[in-house]
């Protein structure tokens, strides 16, 4: 037989590999992303609801922060993970708008779906979306207003923070937290604005407004030995010494062997241990320090020694807290006590140990080099405090961006409606398929004001019609007014958001959509079995195995 003309079957992928491709695969990916969008939809806006998530370990989280929800949902669909990534990127880059970017990306995919079903190439849609995104970003930059308030930027920052908090758990306490949030960002180095230097400590119990802002450093009282209560708990203008030295009397190691012939020699060995630690303590006392902090333990001998000399000490201070203390009070961490100079010591206006809830906290106030601050958050339950922390993080990031760039745009769906109108008008100037795709992009932008209305229980169709009418008359700042349950000029009402938040959200949503549209094949490898899978258990007789 002649097999010369037959093409042999070539196996490239291993058996069990799932390969799906074509237009159906793109639509399947879009449907997965829409499922994510449906999960987040109810959380958008000031009247959005929270989601309660229970992890496999039983830990509960209550949140309406898009990035947090997506992180905890444990999404397994490979295409839907793209939405998780853009939400996290939005959170890291600008802090706010994590829900908006996910909903926007989902809506762009939803608008692209009919075109795909009608047979239009995904590359044509990608090209149209990319052009629409460029036009939208340019329009936002044109509409953004640089606000100057006669040199007083605090007013601008408070308004941006208030808008960021409007959809959060702390919206009812906004007056209190807006001030705290702006104080926190303004206490940082205005060149670097490193938000990692804002320490946040959570203390269960009390009301949310019992939270404290410390212009300096605060950390929980560390593990302490007998004699600690005899130490002074308050100093004015203290000298602060930071160490990376263990001040503890160590016993001989179990495997150590010391051979002595006389009792005096044994005494010399024991006395040497005492002499070493007493020398260290004397050197610290001679340095003039009133407060001694160490990353390593400070034992009972040292604690009592310091108490007798009116010196405060804290051992096992966390590295993060120690670094922020150094930044705030000055000085440097010392790894030896033998050469402590005056420039190695830091200082502050006031140090005191105070009771916060059921915990005691060491607080350093009035730091000369205060480029750091600490927020002590209170609340009735751990879940509440955790959500307060996430809400403040978003507001702090928004304030940080507003300082860097003073450009703001009106919130409440106003900017989306104006850009949507602009893209509709632009689409009428071009011909062919691109006109339809540009129009679809414009329609997708309306999902933000529509969802805001639905979550607030308003008639979305009526409100959107009013908004379209207002924007066609040139009312660029008109958006959803939740107080009057109608439309209004949100710029005049100081509902402001940094333009950067909107630009980043549009760019991220468009890129994620284009990425999903450009993937038309998914190859999923079969999960590998353990090495001994399918092998008979020890002592078992396998099929066809000879018995002996």
User: What residues act catalytically?
Assistant: 65, 98-99, 394
Asked if residues 21 and 520 have their Cβ atoms less than 8 Å apart, the reply is: yes
Q: Identify the CA nearest to 505 among candidates 165, 97, 112.
A: 97
Helix (H) or strand (E) segment spanning residue 307: helix 300-308
> Measured between alpha carbons, how far is residue 27 from residues 32, 86, 87, 112, 361 in Å?
9, 20, 22, 9, 56
**Residue 360: which of 207, 236, 177, 231 has the closest Cα?**
231
Question: Which residues, 6+ apart, have CB-to-CB distance to 83 below 8 Å?
Answer: 33, 36, 37, 70, 75, 102, 105, 106, 512
Token couple for 497: 């958001």
CA contacts within 13 A on the Cβ side of 281? 24
Give the N- to C-terminal CA distance of the chain in Å, as an integer: 45
CA distance 75 to 306: 54
According to DSSP, the β-strands at 373-379 and 198-204 are: parallel
- 146 vs 157: CA distance, rounded Å: 12
Exposed, middle or buried, 283 (CB in 10 Å: 0-12/13-18/19+)?
A: middle
418 with 468: CB under 8 angstroms?
no
Q: Which helix (H) or strand (E) holds 386?
A: helix 382-404
Using CA atoms, how far apart are residues 495 and 394, in angstroms rounded to an integer?
A: 16
Residues 6+ apart with CB under 8 A from 294: 242, 243, 244, 245, 246, 247, 313, 314, 315, 316, 317
**DSSP of 69-102:** HHHHHT---TTTHHHHHHHHHHHHHTSS-HHHHH
How far apart are the C-alpha atoms of 532 and 426, rounded to whole Å? Answer: 64
Q: Which helix (H) or strand (E) holds 54?
A: strand 51-54
């Amino acid at each position: 037989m002649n097999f010369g003309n037959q093409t042999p079957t070539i196996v490239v992928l291993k058996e069990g590999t799932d390969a799906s491709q074509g237009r159906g695969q793109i639509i399947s990916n879009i449907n997965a992303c829409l499922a994510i969008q449906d999960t987040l939809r109810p959380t958008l806006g000031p009247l959005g609801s929270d989601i309660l998530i229970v992890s496999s370990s039983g830990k509960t989280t209550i949140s309406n922060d898009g990035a947090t929800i997506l992180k905890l949902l444990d999404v397994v669909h490979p295409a839907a993970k793209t939405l998780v990534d853009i939400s996290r990127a939005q959170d890291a880059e600008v802090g706010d708008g994590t829900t908006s970017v996910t909903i926007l990306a989902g809506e762009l995919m939803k608008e692209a779906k009919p075109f795909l079903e009608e047979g239009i190439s995904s590359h044509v849609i990608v090209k149209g979306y990319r052009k629409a995104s460029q036009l939208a970003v340019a329009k936002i930059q044109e509409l953004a207003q640089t606000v100057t308030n006669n040199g007083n930027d605090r007013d601008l920052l408070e308004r941006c923070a208030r808008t960021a908090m409007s959809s959060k758990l702390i919206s009812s306490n906004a007056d209190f937290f807006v001030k705290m949030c702006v104080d926190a960002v303004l206490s940082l180095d205005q060149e670097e604005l490193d938000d990692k230097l804002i320490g946040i400590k959570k203390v269960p119990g009390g009301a949310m407004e019992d939270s404290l802002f410390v212009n300096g450093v605060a950390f929980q009282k560390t593990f302490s030995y007998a004699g600690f209560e005899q130490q002074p708990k308050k100093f004015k203008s203290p000298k602060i010494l930071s160490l990376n030295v263990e001040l503890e009397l160590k016993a001989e190691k179990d495997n150590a062997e010391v051979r002595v012939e006389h009792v005096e020699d044994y005494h010399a060995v024991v006395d040497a241990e005492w002499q070493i630690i007493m020398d260290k303590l004397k050197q610290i006392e001679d340095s003039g320090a009133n407060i001694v902090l160490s990353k390593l333990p400070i034992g009972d001998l040292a604690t009592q020694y310091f108490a007798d000399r009116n010196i405060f000490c804290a051992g096992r201070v966390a590295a993060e807290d120690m670094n922020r203390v150094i930044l705030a009070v000055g000085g440097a961490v010392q790894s030896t006590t033998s050469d402590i100079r005056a420039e190695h010591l830091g200082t502050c206006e006031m140090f005191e140990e105070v009771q916060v809830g059921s915990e005691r906290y060491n607080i350093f106030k009035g730091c000369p080099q205060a480029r750091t601050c600490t927020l002590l958050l209170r609340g009735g339950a751990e879940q509440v405090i955790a959500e307060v922390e996430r809400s403040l993080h978003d507001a702090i990031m928004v304030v940080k961006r507003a300082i860097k760039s003073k450009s703001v745009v009106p919130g409440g769906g106003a900017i989306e409606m104006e850009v949507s109108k602009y893209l509709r008008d632009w689409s009428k100037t071009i011909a062919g398929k691109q006109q339809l795709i540009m129009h679809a992009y414009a329609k997708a932008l309306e999902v933000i004001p529509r969802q805001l209305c639905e979550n607030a229980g308003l008639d979305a169709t009526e409100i959107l019609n009013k908004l379209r009418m207002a924007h066609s008359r040139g009312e660029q700042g008109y958006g959803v007014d939740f107080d009057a349950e109608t439309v209004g000029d949100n710029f005049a009402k100081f509902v402001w958001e940094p333009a950067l938040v909107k630009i980043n959200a549009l760019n991220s949503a468009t890129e994620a959509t284009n990425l999903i549209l450009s993937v038309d094949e998914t190859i999923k490898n079969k999960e590998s079995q353990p090495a001994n899978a399918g092998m008979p258990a020890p002592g078992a007789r396998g099929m066809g195995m000879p018995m002996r």
